[in-house]
């Protein structure tokens, strides 16, 4: 298998052979596939094997791989030049398109990665409030900047501990890590530290521990509590933005809220670059205008607003119309239901959870939820491992981790869905035959 040969070659020059850890198949074992092309709902590896893809580049391939309009837009932009170190007209067009879709989004700054977007949003929140502390939720991922690679301390309102080697205790101690969907824990943190908290940052719907949406009323409670203490709210839509729905998951949440409360800042990535490196932060005008060159909060990037990435993102959003989101919704509805049906038939306990067009499968006994990271960690990962490899053998490319969302595209038509459905019974039987882990006593 050429993928195995390429993996060995990569390991000699790249740490772990990969440039992002989940690609190494560490959670599922086996040999990661090296992909050489994609078209619509399919990807093809170096050995010529075609798979129905449910990774979708971890979200950006909203319309499907190599969408003709997106490819043409990038080729046209590339023919004009790869970058100029100066503004291009399409940057404002992309900002206008995003602002038109997201309630409460008034100004936007383009950056290159989701990590950069959340890092800058936190700097901006601290600059605006003059406060040091950030609240985040266990299991929510906001990039790999030091202050966000933090783990919960020994109590609900205690300062965090380093979550990675290289993160100092002093940096981690500027973060409070709380259980998600727990209003009492959030209230306790503000009761103890409220005058020092700059902002709460949360994924609009958690999708990096599997899909765990906010409980009804939790987002509204979070915003109201933070604002009552003079703190800001940063809603991280790097993964869910324009993917969970046309206005991101915030659009779904806002439609359910009784009040006019809104987050102060948003972060975006993935879909906004259409498959190329691009991200953004945005929010209320008076906050965003604290960024340089207008204000005292510094942020800069040579490749920010790169014309190729802007062309890909703008074209993707312009083609992400009602019909595209209807197709995404149908594919997510059918596939999540078929997965659950196959697992039920094989007698595999599980739970499927959705957030808009995102969904994931939790293997194990769940009477409800999971609602937080502790609940997500109770899943039977060895059953996921067996299921994953059986699906791969059946020609379906799933995320290689039990703690990731599944992504459909607008190109997942009846033929692609049928191929997934055909692979499910064997994969469900493989999961049933995997021995669940012994319970911790």
Active site residues per annotation: 141, 236, 270
Cα–Cα distance, 218 to 148 (Å, whole number): 21
Contact criterion met (CB below 8 Å) for 376 and 403: yes
Q: What DSSP state is assigned to residue 360?
A: E
Determine the Cα angle at 362 with ends 361 and 365, to 5°: 135
Closest listed residue to residue 328, CA positions, set 414, 243, 211, 212: 243
Cα–Cα distance, 272 to 248 (Å, whole number): 11
Distance from the Cα of residue 104 to its chain's centroid: 21
Question: b/e string for 374-398 if b means 16 or more Cβ within 10 A?
Answer: ebbebbbbbbbbbbbbbbbebebbb
Contact criterion met (CB below 8 Å) for 271 and 92: no
| Residues with Cβ within 8 Å of residue 338, at least 6 apart in sequence | 417, 420, 421, 424
Q: Any long-range contacts for 434-438 (C-beta under 8 Å, 24+ apart)?
A: 434/380, 434/382, 434/383, 434/385, 434/386, 434/387, 435/382, 436/364, 436/380, 436/382, 436/383, 437/380, 437/381, 437/382
């Amino acid at each position: 298998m050429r993928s195995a040969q390429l993996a060995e070659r990569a390991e000699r020059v790249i740490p772990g052979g990969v440039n992002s850890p989940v690609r190494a198949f560490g959670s599922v074992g086996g040999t990661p596939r090296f992909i050489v092309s994609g078209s619509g709902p399919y990807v093809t590896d170096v050995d010529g094997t075609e798979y129905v893809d449910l990774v979708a580049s971890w979200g950006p391939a909203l319309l499907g791989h190599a969408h003709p309009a997106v490819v043409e837009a990038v080729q046209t932009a590339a023919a004009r030049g790869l970058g100029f170190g100066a503004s291009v007209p399409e940057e404002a067009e992309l900002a206008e398109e995003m602002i038109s879709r997201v309630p409460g989004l008034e100004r936007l700054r383009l950056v290159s990665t989701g990590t950069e977007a959340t890092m800058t949003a936190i700097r901006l929140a601290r600059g605006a409030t003059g406060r040091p502390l950030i609240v985040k939720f266990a299991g929510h991922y906001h990039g790999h900047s030091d202050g966000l690679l933090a783990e919960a301390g020994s109590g609900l309102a205690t300062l965090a501990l380093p979550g990675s080697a290289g993160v100092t205790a002093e940096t981690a101690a500027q973060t409070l890590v709380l259980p998600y969907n727990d209003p009492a824990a959030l209230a306790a943190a503000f009761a103890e530290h409220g005058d020092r908290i700059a902002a709460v940052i949360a994924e609009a719907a958690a999708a990096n521990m599997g899909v765990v949406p906010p409980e009804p009323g939790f987002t509204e409670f979070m915003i109201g509590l933070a604002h009552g203490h003079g703190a800001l709210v940063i809603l991280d839509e790097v993964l869910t933005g324009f993917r969970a729905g046309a206005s991101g998951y915030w659009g779904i949440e806002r439609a359910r809220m009784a009040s006019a409360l809104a987050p102060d800042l948003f972060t975006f990535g993935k879909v906004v670059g259409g498959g190329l490196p691009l991200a953004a932060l945005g929010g209320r005008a008076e906050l965003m205008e604290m960024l340089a060159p207008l204000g005292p909060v510094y942020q800069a990037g040579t490749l920010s607003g790169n014309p190729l990435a802007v062309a890909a993102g703008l074209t993707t959003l312009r083609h992400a119309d009602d019909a595209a989101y209807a197709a995404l919704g149908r594919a997510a509805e059918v596939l999540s239901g078929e997965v659950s049906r196959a697992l039920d038939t094989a007698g595999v306990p599980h739970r499927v959870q959705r957030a808009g067009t995102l969904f994931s499968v939790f293997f194990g006994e769940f009477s409800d939820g999971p609602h937080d990271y502790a609940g997500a960690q109770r899943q039977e990962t060895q059953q996921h491992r067996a299921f994953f490899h059986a699906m791969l053998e059946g020609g379906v490319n799933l995320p290689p981790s039990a703690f990731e969302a599944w992504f459909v595209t607008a190109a997942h038509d009846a033929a692609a869905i049928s191929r997934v459905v055909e692979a499910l019974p064997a994969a469900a039987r493989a999961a049933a035959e995997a021995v669940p882990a012994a319970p911790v006593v």
